[in-house]
Amino acid sequence: MKLRSADWYAGESRNAYIHRAWMRRGNPSDGFHRPQIAIANTASDLTPCNAHLTEIAASVRDGVFAAGGIPLELPVVSLGETNVRPTAMLWRNMAAMATEEMLRANPIDGVVLLGGCDKTIPSLLMAAASVDIPAVVVPGGPMLSGTFRGVPLGCGTDVWRLSEEVRAGTLSQTDFIRSESAMIRSRGHCNTMGTASTMALVAEALGVIVPGVAGTPAPDSRLREAAHGTGRLAVSLVEDDRRPSTFLGRANFHNAIVALAAIGGSTNAVVHLLAIAGRLGVPLTLDDFDRIGSRVPVLVDLLPAGRFLMEDFHRAGGLSAVLREVRDLLDPDALTVTGRPLVEYLDDAPIWDAEVIRSRGEPLVAEGGIAVLRGNLAPSGALIKPAAASPHLLKHRGRAVVFDSIEDFHARIDDPSLDVDASSVLVLRGCGPRGYPGMPEVSNMPLPRKLLEQGVRDMVRVCDGRMSGTAYGTVVLHVAPEAAAGGPLALVRTSDYIVLDVEQRRIDVEVPADELARRQPKTDGFAAPRRGWERLYVDHVQQADQGADMDFLVGSSGSEVTRESH
């Protein structure tokens, strides 16, 4: 077995001496002949959902040692969804690029990727796909369920719900603040089917997590056991030269899309999977999500689309139990990081609680996968999540109320004189990859206060941004091209009529084509960065339908480094 790290450590040259001497520091004398396994760790006190990953890294380290490898912890860029401004999505590509460069630049033979919060697993997988060394993910796991006034709280989802109840006057500000200390009960990421839970489960379906691990709660001792086993596996991956390019293909993405639909997962997974596929050179398109996933039944009764939380999901049988129900829809040829097909892990995967995980014959939603919409308002596509929407709004015609930026929205949405009613369509632009920049989670716009006070709890909303996976409502999002890239969304005016027809996969503005062509686009509020990463991002980011990656990062660059450092 020829180790990649031997290019640094083997031989008697001055440079090999330097590399070995500075890394010796207590390592065994034969340590430089063993597989060098990096532990790419996104732990950070400022990423609260990932703060415990250093504990998980310790278990990975023990597993690597036990299998005869040398573990090397490598802190990498960490993005916390709750704290980072203006949006963590602005730096997903930077995190992926930085991790890729560190994996390539250092004397490592394989890597264990530790992620949890929304952007961390996608950025790590984008990096691993591009550098193409043996890699496997250990997800940080969801937090345990907290309760308030005797009722379980879904983090994220219940923030949106409770804050709207305050605005509607049905919950006091005092009680709202009192719920804050109960919202986050333990270490771990969101306990709803938000983006963090979604990406962990989808990554397992993709084949890059050991089957059965994703969804294990962060405080559960079984996660430490799985981390130890994954550390051992990483050494085997190097010995077998099992790299992402050797087993990840269209079949894996097919299974990931089926899983995304069956769990009622976050729309954010679409933009992340497209970006990961782009790094691998897998020809995945937006239409594949509709073709493969839109008719798949939603089987998981979990917030925001249902009632339960991730702790319940794990207890009820987890992802394997879900996939067993839709086994006939999976591609049986898709391999996992273990070298075995995903479907081989589903033979003994019963449902232990049929309320949390429904059977195929009694789904939560018969056809609830993410739908891809097109029309004169979204020529390159837009998304809607029917499982989180109001059925009566899935076919709707309403008068547009347009906001040119998120600041414009916040300034006017609660104005009593705002000309809006329950049938209106709220339109927010300037929130796409270029326009914000970074494509923030603002598409699930809060409803006007005066309508909340009338009992209205959902409206059709249209935006070129994203929404939190913990959010809900009849939201058309990821509209492409975005307004700041010359998309038709920039031409919509208040009082135009918007027509949504999810069954027909259409989203249109009822304005004649010649009139649209005469209109000047509204550019108020679009970002115009002058320097730094924001400038680079705006100049090179792709649109949502392509994964919002940087145009110069698409594809794999491999692991070779041809020049010495001394």
**Does residue 290 have a pLDDT over 90?**
yes
Q: Give the tens place of pLDDT for each residue, 489-499.
A: 999 999 999 99
User: Are 457 and 495 members of one domain?
Assistant: yes
User: Are 169 and 207 members of one domain?
Assistant: no
User: Are 491 and 391 members of one domain?
Assistant: yes
Q: Give the tens place of pLDDT for each residue, 510-520.
A: 999 999 999 99
What's the 3-state SS for 1-21? CCCCCHHHHCCCCHHHHHHHH
User: Are 139 and 250 members of one domain?
Assistant: yes
User: Are 271 and 399 members of one domain?
Assistant: no
Residue 330's contacts (CB-CB under 8 Å, 6 or more residues apart) are 254, 255, 258, 323, 342, 343
Domain count, the chain: 3
C-alpha to C-alpha distance for 103 and 133, rounded to whole angstroms:
8
In a domain, 85, yes or no: yes
Backbone CA torsion sign across 188, 357, 303, 259: positive
Give the model's confidence band at 5: pLDDT under 50 very low, under 70 low, under 90 confident, else very high: very high
The verdict on whether omega for the bond into residue 481 sits within 30 degrees of 0, i.e. cis, is yes
Mean pLDDT over 391-400 rounds to: 97
The verdict on whether omega for the bond into residue 134 sits within 30 degrees of 0, i.e. cis, is no
C-alpha to C-alpha distance for 375 and 96, rounded to whole angstroms:
33
In a domain, 73, yes or no: yes
At residue 528, the pLDDT reads 87
**Does residue 382 have a pLDDT over 80?**
yes
C-alpha to C-alpha distance for 232 and 71, rounded to whole angstroms:
10
User: Are 200 and 174 members of one domain?
Assistant: no
Q: Quote the tokens at residue 197.
A: 């839970």
Give the model's confidence band at 164: pLDDT under 50 very low, under 70 low, under 90 confident, else very high: confident
At residue 265, the pLDDT reads 94
Annotate 34-69 with b (16+ C-beta within 10 A) or e (fewer).
bbbbbbbbbbbeebbbbbbbebbbbbbbbbbbebeb
In a domain, 377, yes or no: yes
**Among 127, 495, 107, which Cα is nearest to 280's?**
127
Residue 7: how many other CB atoms lie within 10 Å = 17
Mean pLDDT over 398-425 rounds to: 97
Picking from 35-49, 149-163, 270-284, 318-332, which range would have the lowest pLDDT averaged per residue? Answer: 149-163
At residue 469, the pLDDT reads 81
In a domain, 494, yes or no: yes
In a domain, 8, yes or no: no
At residue 25, the pLDDT reads 86
In a domain, 409, yes or no: yes
Give percent above pLDDT 70 in the chain.
100
**pLDDT, greater one: 165 or 100:** 100
Amino acid at 188: G
In a domain, 464, yes or no: yes
User: Are 165 and 244 members of one domain?
Assistant: no
Q: Give the tens place of pLDDT for each residue, 452-472.
A: 999 999 999 999 999 988 788
pTM of the model: 0.96
User: Are 83 and 193 members of one domain?
Assistant: yes
Q: Give the tens place of pLDDT for each residue, 68-107.
A: 999 999 999 999 999 999 999 999 999 999 999 999 999 9
**Does residue 282 have a pLDDT over 80?**
yes
The answer to whether 19 and 27 have CB atoms below 8 angstroms apart is: no
C-alpha to C-alpha distance for 35 and 447, rounded to whole angstroms:
55
The answer to whether 217 and 310 have CB atoms below 8 angstroms apart is: yes
* Residue entry with tokens 């319940």: 312
**Among 556, 484, 470, which Cα is nearest to 525's?**
484
In a domain, 416, yes or no: yes
User: Are 309 and 456 members of one domain?
Assistant: no
> With the CA atoms of 36, 115, 95 and 37 taken in that order, what torsion angle do they form, in degrees rounded to the nearest 10?
0
C-alpha to C-alpha distance for 32 and 108, rounded to whole angstroms:
11
Number of alpha carbons in the 13 Å side-chain half-sphere of residue 373? 30
User: Are 477 and 428 members of one domain?
Assistant: yes
C-alpha to C-alpha distance for 278 and 301, rounded to whole angstroms:
32
**Does residue 276 have a pLDDT over 90?**
yes
CATH code at position 539:
3.50.30.80
Q: Quote the tokens at residue 438.
A: 């970074």
> With the CA atoms of 189, 410, 271 and 81 taken in that order, what torsion angle do they form, in degrees rounded to the nearest 10?
-20
Give the model's confidence band at 156: pLDDT under 50 very low, under 70 low, under 90 confident, else very high: confident
Q: Quote the tokens at residue 460.
A: 């059709």
CA distances from 293 to 11, 155, 315, 448, 476 (A): 53, 26, 25, 33, 17
* Residue entry with tokens 């004169």: 376
**pLDDT, greater one: 210 or 525:** 210
Mean pLDDT over 275-298 rounds to: 96
> Which phi and psi (to 5°) does residue 497 adopt?
-100, 130
Give the model's confidence band at 158: pLDDT under 50 very low, under 70 low, under 90 confident, else very high: confident
User: Are 154 and 76 members of one domain?
Assistant: no
456 lies in which domain range? 371-546
- Mean per-residue pLDDT of the chain: 95
Angle of helix 532-540 relative to helix 92-105, nearest 10 degrees, comes to 100
Mean pLDDT over 482-488 rounds to: 97
User: Are 402 and 323 members of one domain?
Assistant: no
Give the model's confidence band at 44: pLDDT under 50 very low, under 70 low, under 90 confident, else very high: very high
